[in-house]
Structure 1
Amino acid sequence: MIVLAALSTYFLSVGTFERIDDGERTVLVEGSYQTVESNPISPFEILQAIPLGMEDSAQIIFYIFLIGGTFGVITKTGAIDAAVYGLVNRLKNNGALLLPVIMIAFSIPGATIGLSEEVIIFVPIGIAVAKALGYDSITGMSMLNLGAVCGFVGGMLNPFTVGVAQTIAEVPLFSGLGFRLIVYVLFLLTAITLVMRYAAKVKKDPSASYLADLPQQDTIAATNTEQIPFTRKHAFVLISVIIGFALNMYGIFKWEWYLTEMTGTFLAIGLIAGIVGGLRINGTFEAFTNGMKDVAYGALIVGFARAILVVMEQGQVLDTIVYQVSELISKIPGSFAVIGMFLVQLIINFFIPSGSGQAATTMPIMTPLADLLDIQRQVAVLAYQYGDGVMSTINPTNGVLMACLALAGIPYTRWVKYIWKLVVAWIIIAILGLLAAVWFGIS
Structure 2
Amino acid sequence: MEKNQFKMPHLFWIMIGLLLLASILTYIIPAGKFAVDGNGKIIGDQFTYLSSQNPISIWKMFMLIMQGLVESGMIIWVVLISGAMTSVVMATGVIDDLLGWAVWKLKDKNENILISIMFILMVYLGGFGGTDALIAVVPIGVIFSKKLKLDPICALGMTTYATLIGFGTGPVKQTTSQMLMGVPVYGAFFTMFISMNIFMIIGLVLLLRYIKGIRKNPVNSLMYNEGWNPEEISKVEELKEVSLAKNKILILLIFLGQYALIVAYPFVAKSGAALYPFILATNLLVSILAGILAKFSFKKIGDEFSKGLSSIVFVGFIIGLAKVMSLVLTKGEIMDTIVYVLTKPLMNLPRAFSSIGMTAVISVVNLLIPSASSKAAVLIPILRPIVEALGMAPELGVQAFQYGDGFSNLISPALGWTVGSCAMAGVPFPKWLKWVFPKVIIFTCLSFIIMFILTETGWRAF
Q: TM-score range by the shorter chain?
A: 0.5 to 0.7
How many angstroms apart in 2 are the aligned matches of 1:405 and 1:242? 31
Correspondence for 2:73 among 3, 18, 23: 23
Tell which structure's C-alpha radius of gyration is larger: 2
Compared CA separation, residues 406 and 265, structure 1 to 2 (3 A): farther
How many angstroms apart in 2 are the aligned matches of 1:266 and 1:329? 52
Compared CA separation, residues 110 and 206, structure 1 to 2 (3 A): same
How many angstroms apart in 2 are the aligned matches of 1:224 and 1:119? 27
Give the aligned partner of residue 345 of structure 2: 331
Gaps of 5+ in 2: 24-63, 78-83, 259-281, 297-310, 330-334
1:415 paired with 2:426, answer: no
Compared CA separation, residues 419 and 325, structure 1 to 2 (3 A): farther
How many angstroms apart in 1 are the aligned matches of 2:291 and 2:428? 27
Correspondence for 2:8 among 5, 11, 36: 5
Q: Is the 8 A contact 1:132 1:219 kept in 2?
A: no
* Cα drift, residue 107 of structure 1: 1.7
Give the aligned partner of residue 152 of structure 1: 167
Q: Is the 8 A contact 2:122 2:163 kept in 1?
A: yes
Compared CA separation, residues 412 and 99, structure 1 to 2 (3 A): same
What does the per-residue CA deviation read over 1:85-115, in whole Å, with 9 as the maximum and x for residues that have no partner?
9965x24xx212222211211222333x341
How many angstroms apart in 1 are the aligned matches of 2:114 and 2:191? 28
Give the aligned partner of residue 441 of structure 1: 458
**SS of alignment partner, residue 225 of structure 2:** coil
1:140 paired with 2:155, answer: yes
**SS of alignment partner, residue 24 of structure 1:** helix
- So what's the TM-score if we normalise by structure 2? 0.61
* Cα drift, residue 67 of structure 1: 11
Q: Is the 8 A contact 1:123 1:144 kept in 2?
A: yes
What does the per-residue CA deviation read over 1:183-208, in whole Å, with 9 as the maximum and x for residues that have no partner?
32331122111100111111222222
Give the aligned partner of residue 139 of structure 2: 124
1:101 paired with 2:117, answer: yes
Q: Is the 8 A contact 2:362 2:404 kept in 1?
A: yes
Give the aligned partner of residue 33 of structure 2: none
Compared CA separation, residues 328 and 417, structure 1 to 2 (3 A): farther
Compared CA separation, residues 381 and 114, structure 1 to 2 (3 A): farther
1:385 corresponds to which letter in structure 2?
A: Q
* Cα drift, residue 373 of structure 1: 0.6
Give the aligned partner of residue 176 of structure 2: 164
Give the aligned partner of residue 374 of structure 1: 391
* Cα drift, residue 246 of structure 1: 4.2
How many angstroms apart in 1 are the aligned matches of 2:290 and 2:225? 38
Q: Is the 8 A contact 2:103 2:118 kept in 1?
A: no
What does the per-residue CA deviation read over 1:33-62, in whole Å, with 9 as the maximum and x for residues that have no partner?
xxxxxxxxxxxxxxxxxxxxxxxxxx9xx9
- Please identify, of 13-22 and 385-394, the stretch whose mean Cα deviation from structure 2 is larger: 13-22
Give the aligned partner of residue 275 of structure 2: none
Mapping 1:103-252, distance limit 5 Å: 103-111=119-127, 113-156=128-171, 158=172, 161-215=173-227, 217-219=228-230, 222-223=233-234, 235=241, 238-239=242-243, 246=249, 249=252, 252=255
2:74 corresponds to which letter in structure 1?
A: E
**SS of alignment partner, residue 362 of structure 1:** helix
What does the per-residue CA deviation read over 1:346-403, in whole Å, with 9 as the maximum and x for residues that have no partner?
1221222111221222112211210101111000000100011111111111111112
How many angstroms apart in 2 are the aligned matches of 1:266 and 1:409? 33
Gaps of 5+ in 1: 28-58, 75-79, 269-302
Q: How many residue pairs were aligned?
A: 341
Compared CA separation, residues 359 and 134, structure 1 to 2 (3 A): same
Compared CA separation, residues 339 and 5, structure 1 to 2 (3 A): same
2:175 corresponds to which letter in structure 1?
A: G
How many angstroms apart in 2 are the aligned matches of 1:207 and 1:135? 12
Q: Is the 8 A contact 2:370 2:409 kept in 1?
A: yes
Q: Say what the alpha-carbon RMSD is for the aligned residues.
A: 4.7
Q: Is the 8 A contact 1:85 1:132 kept in 2?
A: no
Compared CA separation, residues 222 and 87, structure 1 to 2 (3 A): farther
1:185 corresponds to which letter in structure 2?
A: N
What does the per-residue CA deviation read over 1:71-96, in whole Å, with 9 as the maximum and x for residues that have no partner?
9xx9xxxxx8x9979965x24xx212
How many angstroms apart in 1 are the aligned matches of 2:288 and 2:222? 36
Q: Is the 8 A contact 1:329 1:340 kept in 2?
A: no
**SS of alignment partner, residue 390 of structure 1:** helix
Q: Is the 8 A contact 2:126 2:163 kept in 1?
A: yes
Compared CA separation, residues 183 and 101, structure 1 to 2 (3 A): same
* Cα drift, residue 224 of structure 1: 7.2
How many angstroms apart in 1 are the aligned matches of 2:393 and 2:290? 38
Compared CA separation, residues 245 and 155, structure 1 to 2 (3 A): same
**SS of alignment partner, residue 150 of structure 2:** coil
How many angstroms apart in 1 are the aligned matches of 2:224 and 2:294? 34
Give the aligned partner of residue 355 of structure 1: 372
2:442 corresponds to which letter in structure 1?
A: A
How many angstroms apart in 1 are the aligned matches of 2:232 and 2:113? 17
- Please identify, of 429-438 and 354-363, the stretch whose mean Cα deviation from structure 2 is larger: 354-363
How many angstroms apart in 2 are the aligned matches of 1:325 and 1:95? 55
Q: Is the 8 A contact 1:134 1:221 kept in 2?
A: no
